[in-house]
């Protein structure tokens, strides 16, 4: 298929692993620990799922969804540290690193700030992997300027504002399964999505993302898989 179907993964849900193509694995700063990372990578190996690093801000209490003031050098260091941790488990299970995708508030900060994004891109370039992010944002501009492959994402369980930015909530919430499936269907058919105020937005993507901490994540993932398979 043309689109990868990915999951923000920091758990060991075997059902989800049987549905997705790509897992974004938390590396310990906003969520995850050595045991969880080991188990998640093992499940990915068993299910033929590609694994990307999902580095976040050092904020376990806030789940990486509270912004911090960082320099580009600090961004590079915290991402490099987390990717290195995941790489140890990938080596154990003989899997390559597939991509890097920042998490939560770090993701939003890098989408707005090209200098900060450069820190993330340097790590991706060293590992020779793509960056996942928001098309048209600093994610894409900096990656492409620095010769790093960029893969745009579509979110089906988060809302978009009229400017095309994501509306990220501090707490996970149940997702309307039919609405998630319809967003995927619309984006695939027309290359557009609707914002919360009804604005039609163009969307470029090569990956569709579902968050594994959504209470009904399995239902959402299966509905999106059905759209991709139809």
Cα distance between residue 181 and residue 200, in whole Å: 17
pLDDT at 7 over 60: no
- CA-nearest of 216, 134, 137, 213 to 181 is 216
pLDDT at 215 over 50: yes
pLDDT at 12: 39
Please state which of the ranges 5-9, 33-37, 152-156 shows the lowest mean pLDDT. 5-9
pLDDT at 3: 46
Taking only the tens place, the pLDDT of each residue in 169-198 is 766 678 999 999 999 999 999 999 999 999
pLDDT at 9 over 60: no
| Local confidence band at 11 (pLDDT 50, 70, 90 cut-offs) | very low
Which CATH number, 3.20.20.370, 3.40.1440.10, 3.30.70.20, 1.10.357.10, labels domain 4-157+205-212? Answer: 3.20.20.370
Taking only the tens place, the pLDDT of each residue in 53-65 is 999 999 988 888 8
Taking only the tens place, the pLDDT of each residue in 93-116 is 999 999 999 999 999 999 999 999
Cα distance between residue 97 and residue 9, in whole Å: 15
Cα distance between residue 132 and residue 23, in whole Å: 12
**Domain locations in the chain?**
4-157+205-212
Residue of higher predicted confidence among 199 and 14? 199
Pairing of strands 200-202, 192-194: antiparallel
- CA-nearest of 50, 40, 31, 48 to 13 is 40
Interval 198-223 mean pLDDT:
92
- CA-nearest of 203, 199, 161 to 185 is 203
Q: Are 83 and 55 in contact (CB under 8 A)?
A: yes
Mean pLDDT over the full length of the chain: 91
pLDDT at 22: 95
| Local confidence band at 2 (pLDDT 50, 70, 90 cut-offs) | very low
pLDDT at 64: 86
Q: Which residues of 166-192 are buried (b: 16+ CB within 10 A; e: fewer)?
A: eeeeeeeeebebeebbbbbbbbbeeee
């Amino acid at each position: 298929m043309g689109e990868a179907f990915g999951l923000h993964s920091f758990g060991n849900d075997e059902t989800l692993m049987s549905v997705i193509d790509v897992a974004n694995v938390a590396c310990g700063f906003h969520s995850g620990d050595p045991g969880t990372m080991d188990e998640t990578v093992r499940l990915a190996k068993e299910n033929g799922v590609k694994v990307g690093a999902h580095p976040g801000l050092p904020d376990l209490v806030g789940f990486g969804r509270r912004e911090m003031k960082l320099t580009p050098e600090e961004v590079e260091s915290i991402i490099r540290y987390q990717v290195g941790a995941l790489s140890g488990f990938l080596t154990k299970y003989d899997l390559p690193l597939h991509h890097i995708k920042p998490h939560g508030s770090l993701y939003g900060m890098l989408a707005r700030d090209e200098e900060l994004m450069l820190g993330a891109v340097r790590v991706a370039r060293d590992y020779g992997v793509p960056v996942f992010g928001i098309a048209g944002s600093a994610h894409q501009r900096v990656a492409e300027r620095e010769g790093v492959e960029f893969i745009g994402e579509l979110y089906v369980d988060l809302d978009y504002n009229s400017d095309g930015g994501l509306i990220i909530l501090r707490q996970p919430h149940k997702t309307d399964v039919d609405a998630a499936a319809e967003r995927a269907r619309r984006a695939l058919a027309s290359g557009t999505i609707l914002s919360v105020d009804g604005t039609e937005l163009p969307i470029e993507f090569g990956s569709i993302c579902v968050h594994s901490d959504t209470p009904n994540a399995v239902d959402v993932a299966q509905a999106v898989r059905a759209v991709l398979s139809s």
